Chains A and B, each alone.
Chain A
Amino acid sequence: MARMSYAQALNEAHRIAMHDDPRVFVLGEDIGVYGGIYRVTKGLQAEFGEQRVLDTPISEIAITGAAVGAALVGSRPILEIGFVDFVGTCWDQVFNQAAKFSYMTDGRASVPLVIRMACGAGLGYGVHHSQSLEAWFTHVPGLKVVMPATPADAKGLLLAAIDDPNPVIFLEHKFLYEVKDEVPDGRYTVPLGKAWMAREGADVTIVSWSGAVPWALKAAEQAAAEGIECEVLDLRSLVPLDEDAIVASVEKTGRLIVCHEACTTGGFGAEVIARVVTRAFDFLDAEPLRVAAPDIPVPNSLPLEAVYLGTRERLLEAVRGIVS
């Protein structure tokens, strides 16, 4: 066990995977010599060489397509796209190509590819560097969608994603990169599709993921001081979804709040609530709530961005409201 940041944990996962499996290689913009915007790939090129750690042109279509093509012939690429906001430039290669090969070929071809992208706001980066677009990916059958919230999960989920034979969208919250915590040594995997019970409680279930998990834990702590016990469930992956864990928690608490950073409309919170209403309606003591961003682009200045991120403050109010 060692104390390290989320970015360092991801770096260690790369190093283990590249050491263990010669099929794994890494490509992206400024990931080699420079080590990536968030230093996640720092030192990998020096250790594994330019053949396996490729600095590419700023050509998201080419590098995403090339990663898919390489996966089709037996490599296991890890592609870094610096910001999820950039995926629009290469979206066809993600949702029409990577996601469809297994289906099109009756399982005779597969795309064991991990696309790592930074998501999330909080650093004042503005409209093109701050979005949370996870719901887009969940709407494409054939993609898996993983969003770690802690350093230990970042490492274990990335190793699981690399092992997975399917294309995995791996979204890293940029506000979490410098967060430090205990991380187990060596190789371990955190299975995709298994939620983490981040806090147990009897009164309210808060379902969250990625950067919203720390908000949920903070709100739970504040609520506990007022005598309200929240259960916080970190989904870890949205596809596959640990629906059983969500339903089991709601059956226990009778109250559901889904808290996510992304915009409200079409957000994955709607899907979580729909599943719970379908499977556990009779257990609900109050109408389920989603606490999420207003439907606006993410503004640049910190005071304006705080409007977008108002979910943090509204969550505690929502907890108070749902038990009253």
Chain B
Amino acid sequence: MSLSPQDLKQLFRRLLLIRRFEEEAFRLAVAGKFSNYHGGMGQEAIPVGVCYGLKPTDNTMITHRGLGVLLTRGVPVGEIFAGLYAKESCPTRGRHPIFHMAAPELGILAGTTMVGSVIPLATGAALAARIQGKPDVTISFFGDGSVNRGDFHEGVNLGAVRKLPIVYFCENNFYAKSMPLEASTAGGSIIARAQGYGLPSELVDGNDVVAVYEATQRAVARARAGEGPTFIECLTYRWTPHSTAGDREFSRTAEELASWKAKCPILRLRKQLIEAGHASAEELDAVDIDIQREVAEGVEFAEAAPYAAPEVALENVYV
């Protein structure tokens, strides 16, 4: 459970991979290379902290900002870029936006476009694990924008009442698209809702990858031991707009954004690693150069990849 210096360096690498990916994806979308990008820059500690300790058979269901989960669980960078370009060389073959792709062999059961619709689906995956007698745990990711949907309330209630092996994981970045939390969510607290369903819950600093990892591990252990769901609310902030399609900025202030950039999860871990003597600045810079090369190669792969042939549009409607 406790993280070694080697683990911390692995976490650093994963965080930085997502950041460099996010930066490049945002840049390419703005440049018109593909139609849209729903970035999660600034929130990298959550997918990394959650997924780092999972078993490959544990299931995750993702949100619009789930590309960090794909990267952390092992989907190649080039395939994800190919997905953004809607090319054939990605798991959806251009049939469906990459934000919601599935990779069942990596424990990624998919996401859905409808905010919060994954919560009942993830609950069902956990129900099936129980019925099948498997030790698998399901992580249901969702944002603060989901908690006013019926899917949230019905799904969490069902998971709670049946004590299913699931972690309900809320990434609270304080804005649902442009809607601030206080204007959308009565009662002023998301975690209070989980407590209303009788769920053990934790409020976690979502920009602290180690804290996210540890909270997840506690929740997963509870689920695996048959003790039922845990609700985790991580506080974080999205540096980029909801998407690159026309809604670049809204009500939040430059000061607010700057205050969260000061809490960058990557700089924070980098500082820890250096101060503890686990890594030198040069070593971490070398990691960065390596990652930037990996990202650039991923873009090249996607640019060169073909679109699927027209007949692919007609296939797989039914199994």
The residues of A with any CB-CB pair to B shorter than 8 Å are: 23, 25, 51-52, 54, 56-57, 59-75, 77, 92-93, 96-97, 100-110, 141-142, 144, 165-166
Pair B154/A61 contact, Cβ less than 8 Å: yes
For window 64-119 of B, CB contacts with A under 8 Å fall at: 91-93, 95-96, 100-102, 104, 109-110, 112-114, 117, 119
Interface locus among B125-133, B178-186, B217-225, B239-247: B125-133
A163 to chain B, nearest CB (A): 12
| Among B4-12, B208-216, B294-302, B311-319, the stretch in contact with A | B311-319
- Residue on B nearest A64 in the bound complex, by CB: B120
Residues of B within 8 A of A109 (CB): 102, 104, 109-110
Within the complex, the shortest CB–CB distance from B58 to chain A, in Å, comes to: 11
Asked if B123 is at the interface (CB within 8 A of a chain A CB), the reply is: yes
Known pairs A72-B121, A105-B102; list 11 more (Cβ under 8 Å).
Answer: A61-B151, A65-B121, A65-B155, A69-B122, A69-B124, A73-B136, A77-B124, A108-B91, A108-B104, A110-B319, A166-B319
**Contact across chains for A102 and B117 when beta carbons are under 8 A apart:** no
- Please name all residues of chain B whose beta carbon is closer than 8 Å to the beta carbon of A62 when the two chains form the complex: 120, 123, 151, 154-155, 157-158
8 A Cβ contacts from B282-319 to A: 315-319
A166 with B318, Cβ < 8 A, contacts A104-B92, A104-B96 known: yes
Residues of B near A69 (CB, < 8 A) are 61, 109, 120-128
A56 to B155, CA, bound (A): 12
Q: Do A67 and B114 touch (CB < 8 A)?
A: no
Q: Which residue from chain B places its CB closest to the CB of A67 in the assembled complex?
A: B124
With a CB–CB cut-off of 8 A, which chain A residues contact B104?
72, 105, 108-109
Q: Knowing A93-B120, A97-B112 are in contact, say whether A75-B132 is a contact too (CB < 8 A).
A: yes
A256 to chain B, nearest CB (A): 28
Given A75-B131, A106-B316 in contact, is the A70-B124 Cβ separation under 8 Å? yes
B161 touches A (CB below 8 Å): yes
Q: At the interface, yes or no: B150 with Cβ under 8 Å from chain A?
A: yes
Structural contact, A93 and B117, CB atoms closer than 8 A: yes
Residues of chain A within 8 A (CB-CB) of B126 are: 69
In the assembled complex, which residues on chain A have CB atoms less than 8 Å from the CB atom of B109? 69, 72-73, 109
Q: Could you tell me the distance between the alpha carbons of A67 and B126 in the complex, rounded to whole angstroms? A: 11
**For residue B113, which residues in chain A have a CB less than 8 angstroms away from its CB?**
96
- Flag whether B146 is at the interface (Cβ < 8 A): no
Chain B interface residue count, CB cutoff 8 Å, equals: 45
Q: List residues of chain B with CB within 8 A of the CB of A103.
A: 95-96, 316-317
Contact: B131 with A65, CB < 8 Å?
no
Closest to A27 in B: B127
Nearest CB in chain A: distance from B90 CB, A: 10
Q: How far is the CA of A70 from the CA of B129 in the complex (A)?
A: 8
Contacts of B162 in A (CB 8 A): 54
Q: Knowing A65-B117, A73-B125, A73-B129 touch, does A104 contact B100 (C-beta < 8 A)?
A: yes
B318 touches which of A25, A73, A102 (Cβ 8 Å): A102
Residues of B within 8 A of A51 (CB): 130-131
**CB proximity of B105 to chain A, nearest CB, Å:** 8
Q: Closest approach, in angstroms, between the C-beta of B298 and any C-beta of chain A?
A: 20
Whether B128 lies near A63 (C-beta < 8 A) is no
Query: Which residues on B sit within 8 Å (CB–CB) of A61?
Result: 120, 150-151, 154-155
Closest 5 CB pairs of A and B: A65-B120, A69-B124, A66-B124, A62-B154, A70-B128
Question: Is B59 interfacial (CB-CB < 8 Å)?
Answer: yes
List CB contacts (< 8 Å) of B253-303 with chain A: none
Q: How far is the CB of A7 from chain B (nearest CB, A)?
A: 25
Q: Which of B145-168 contact A (CB under 8 A)?
A: 150-151, 154-155, 157-158, 161-162
Query: Which residues on the B side are within 8 Å of A106 (C-beta)?
Result: 91-93, 95, 315-316
Q: How far is the CB of A60 from the nearest CB of chain B, in Å? A: 8
A92-B117 contact, Cβ under 8 Å, with A69-B122, A102-B316, A102-B318: yes
- B317 close to A142 (CB less than 8 A): yes
A100 vs B316: C-alpha distance when bound (angstroms): 9
Residues of chain A with a CB closer than 8 A to B129's CB: 73
| Contact between A96 and B117, CB atoms less than 8 A apart | yes
Q: Which residue of chain A lies nearest to B93 when distances are taken between CB atoms in the complex?
A: A106
* 23 interchain pairs, CB-CB under 8 A: A52-B131, A57-B154, A61-B150, A65-B120, A69-B124, A70-B128, A72-B104, A72-B125, A73-B128, A73-B132, A73-B136, A75-B132, A92-B114, A97-B117, A103-B95, A104-B92, A105-B110, A106-B92, A106-B315, A109-B102, A109-B104, A141-B317, A144-B318
Q: Which residue of A lies closest to B88 (CB)?
A: A106
Question: CA–CA, A243 to B196, complex, Å?
Answer: 53
Residues of B within 8 A of A110 (CB): 319
Query: Residue of B at shortest CB range from A65?
Result: B120
Q: How far is the CB of A12 from chain B (nearest CB, A)?
A: 22
Contacts A57-B157, A108-B91 given; indicate if A101 touches B102 (C-beta within 8 A): yes
In the bound complex, do residue A25 and residue B91 qualify as a contact, i.e. CB atoms below 8 Å apart? no
Inter-chain contacts of B136 with A (CB < 8 A): 73
Q: What's the minimum C-beta distance from B130 to chain A, rounded to whole angstroms? A: 8
Inside 8 A of A68's CB, which chain B residues have their CB?
120-121, 124
Contact pattern, B 171-211, Cβ under 8 Å of A = 1, otherwise 0 = 00000000000000000000000000000000000000000
